């Protein structure tokens, strides 16, 4: 190698080392800024609680001991689990079709399914509320489910709006969109050859799906379920409009924070917020662990 | 016997035009052609994964053009073997037998026998992720022949193997085709593979059959 090349290498080597350091520092600083923002928010909540607490009192235990908050926790766990379960039931076939089929209007359908993700939460609530007042829809649904009886004791509207079903439906409407998006990506990553070979070996389409495709999608299903569950837990706007925020009736943890704030009980609102953060953190960690390891693979 | 009668297939700009071909029972046919000439599509139409736009596919005197893949009884081995990731080697081999409602003892006995024949007995309880390319193809072959199909389709099964494994598997394919009198259609880019294995060589270009050449050593 010539002398000039050696000199060039020496200069470039110094520049490269400096450039690499700048690259690492810049990216690290940006990451640190965001991490500090999030940790700072949670730490501030924690310090606020400790600071405001009377001697010998635990604000979180205080909050949990209130019957209406216990009821809210109970309803949150039930409604989030149900809406996540319903989201998965819808997301598995929908994600599979979007990942594996080509048909006219696919792009339009795909974009339509994203509407709950991009729409302002209050608009989702208003739209659900209007739909359940809209006669063609309510009449059609009452015919499918006659026990709702449009002329009977309770109309479909009375069964759902400002009741627990509205909580689940509002959570499901938004959570399902996230679950579909997750599972579509998951199904896209599965090699279609496996399913084709299964068909030649004697499987029906359904057998090939549940014996070969579904086990490979298991980590995606766990992630989608968790995402739907966490999304349902944080849902507030559609719930307020469509289910209301009635204590001991349609109150879930997100509405508890709102109700406690509205009566000036900031200490309790912060305590419930911390409970929500802890629950969401545990759920997300479980998803990360199972999503990485895979459940059936 | 397989008979392809006036097969046409169109998808976007790709098309197969007026394909006519007869393959007799026990014949080993090699299909060659450049990328996009329609080799894989022909295999997929024969095993039922695609339906021709027009024309007929006759298998053992039965029109199977619109028959589901599961009902054709054709073994199919794609390029990478496409073994099922969540299953062990034993479960992969026994997959078709389980679907055919064989009892557990029969499945175990047939899996043992085929695994000995293919020299993969020592791998039966392993997952498929740790297998080498050659081992994967042996197991994919075993999975395809264990339910005794009359026709086998190979889509470049040996293309990603090192030369030693390639030679071993060529010999294995030859012995299987001779011992079982299977009708085999084998897609490849490798002319040596074609010379060694094929009774007949079919060449495709842009969706058309351009030549058929007998490769039987006694002719």
Beta bridge mates, B75: B152
CA distance A1 to A155: 88
Alpha helical stretches, state H, A134-163: 135-144, 156-160
CA distance A194 to B20: 29
Given a cut of 60, whether residue A151 has pLDDT beyond it is no
Does A200 sit within 8 Å of B75, measured CB to CB?
yes
**pLDDT tens per residue across span B28-85:** 999 999 888 899 999 999 999 999 999 999 998 899 999 999 999 999 999 888 999 9
What's residue B216's pLDDT? 66
CA distance A104 to A88: 25
E strand or H helix that includes residue A297: none
Alpha helical stretches, state H, B19-145: 39-47, 89-99, 104-117, 133-145
Complex ipTM tops 0.90: yes
8 A C-beta contact, residue B133 and residue B165: yes
Q: Which of B68, B78, B100 is nearest residue A197 as measured by Cβ atoms? A: B78
CA distance A121 to A217: 29
Q: Does B143 touch chain A (CB under 8 A)?
A: yes
Query: Chain B contacts of A194, Cβ < 8 Å?
Result: 82, 84-85
Q: Does B88 touch chain A (CB under 8 A)?
A: no
Q: Which of B68, B80, B96 is nearest residue A201 as measured by Cβ atoms? A: B96
Quickly state the pLDDT bin for A297 (edges 50, 70, 90): very low
**pLDDT tens per residue across span B164-199:** 888 888 888 888 888 888 899 999 998 888 888 899
Given a cut of 90, whether residue A194 has pLDDT beyond it is yes
CA distances from B8 to B21, B24, B211 (A): 13, 21, 18
The residue among A201, A203, A214 with the most chain B CBs within 10 A of its CB, best to mutate, is: A201
How far is CA A209 from its chain centroid?
25
**pLDDT tens per residue across span A60-94:** 888 888 899 999 999 999 999 999 999 999 999 99
E strand or H helix that includes residue A39: helix A3-52
Task: Report which DSSP code applies to B121.
Answer: G
Q: DSSP letters along B168-187, please?
A: HHHHHHHHHHHHHT-EEEEE
CA distance A185 to A98: 9
Residues 24-63 of B with CB under 8 A from A: 44, 47-49
Query: Chain A contacts of B144, Cβ < 8 Å?
Result: 200-201
8 A C-beta contact, residue B186 and residue B30: yes
Question: Exposed e or buried b for every residue in A171-183, given b needs 16+ CB within 10 A?
Answer: bbbbbbbbbbbbb
SS3 of residue B38 by DSSP: coil
The residue among B82, B151, B156, B185 with the most chain A CBs within 10 A of its CB, best to mutate, is: B82
Query: Chain A contacts of B147, Cβ < 8 Å?
Result: 201-202
What's residue B5's pLDDT? 94
How far is CA B216 from its chain centroid?
20
């Amino acid at each position: 190698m010539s002398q000039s090349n050696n000199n060039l290498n020496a200069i470039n080597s110094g520049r490269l080392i400096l450039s690499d350091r700048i690259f690492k520092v810049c990216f690290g600083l940006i990451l640190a800024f965001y991490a500090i923002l999030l940790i700072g928010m949670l730490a501030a909540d924690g310090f606020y609680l400790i600071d405001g607490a009377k001697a010998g009192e635990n604000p979180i235990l205080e909050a949990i001991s209130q019957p209406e908050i216990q009821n809210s926790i109970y309803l949150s766990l039930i409604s989030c689990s149900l809406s996540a379960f319903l989201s998965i039931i819808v997301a598995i076939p929908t994600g599979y079709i979007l990942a594996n089929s080509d048909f006219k209007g696919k792009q339009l359908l795909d974009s339509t399914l994203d509407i709950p993700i991009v729409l302002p939460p209050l608009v989702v609530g208003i739209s659900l509320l209007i739909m359940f007042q809209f006669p063609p829809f309510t009449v059609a649904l009452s015919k499918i489910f006659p026990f709702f009886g449009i002329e009977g004791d309770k109309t479909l509207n009375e069964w759902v709006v400002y009741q627990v079903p509205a909580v689940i439906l509002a959570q499901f409407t938004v959570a399902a969109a996230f679950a579909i998006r997750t599972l579509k990506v998951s199904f896209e990553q599965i090699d279609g050859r496996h399913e084709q070979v299964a068909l030649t070996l004697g499987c029906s389409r359904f057998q090939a799906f549940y014996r070969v495709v579904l086990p490979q999608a298991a980590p995606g299903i766990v992630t989608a379920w968790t995402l739907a569950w966490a999304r349902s837990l944080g849902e507030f706007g559609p719930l307020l409009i469509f289910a209301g925020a009635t204590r001991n009736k349609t109150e879930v943890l997100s509405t508890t924070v709102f109700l406690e704030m509205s009566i000036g009980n900031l200490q309790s609102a912060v305590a419930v917020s911390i409970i929500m953060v802890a629950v969401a953190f545990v759920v997300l960690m479980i998803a990360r662990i199972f999503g990485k390891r895979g459940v059936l693979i | 016997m397989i008979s392809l009668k006036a097969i046409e297939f169109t998808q976007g700009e790709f098309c197969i035009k007026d394909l006519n071909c007869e393959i007799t029972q026990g014949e080993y046919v090699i299909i060659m052609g450049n990328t996009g000439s329609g080799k894989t599509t022909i295999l997929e139409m024969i095993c039922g994964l695609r339906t021709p736009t027009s024309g007929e596919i006759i298998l053992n005197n039965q029109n199977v053009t619109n028959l589901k893949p599961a009902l054709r009884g054709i073994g199919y081995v794609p390029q990478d073997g496409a073994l099922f990731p969540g299953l062990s080697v034993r479960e992969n081999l026994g997959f078709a037998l389980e679907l055919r409602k064989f009892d557990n003892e029969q499945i175990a006995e047939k899996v043992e026998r085929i695994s000995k024949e293919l020299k993969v007995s020592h791998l039966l309880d392993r997952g498929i992720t740790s297998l080498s390319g050659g081992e994967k193809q042996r197991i994919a072959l075993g999975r395809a022949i264990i339910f005794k199909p009359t026709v086998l389709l190979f889509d470049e099964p040996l293309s990603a193997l090192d030369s030693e494994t390639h030679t071993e598997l060529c010999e294995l394919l030859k012995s299987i085709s001779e011992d079982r009198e299977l009708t085999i259609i084998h897609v490849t880019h490798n002319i040596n593979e074609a010379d060694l294995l094929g009774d007949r060589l079919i060449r495709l270009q842009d969706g058309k059959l351009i030549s058929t050449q007998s490769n039987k050593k006694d002719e």
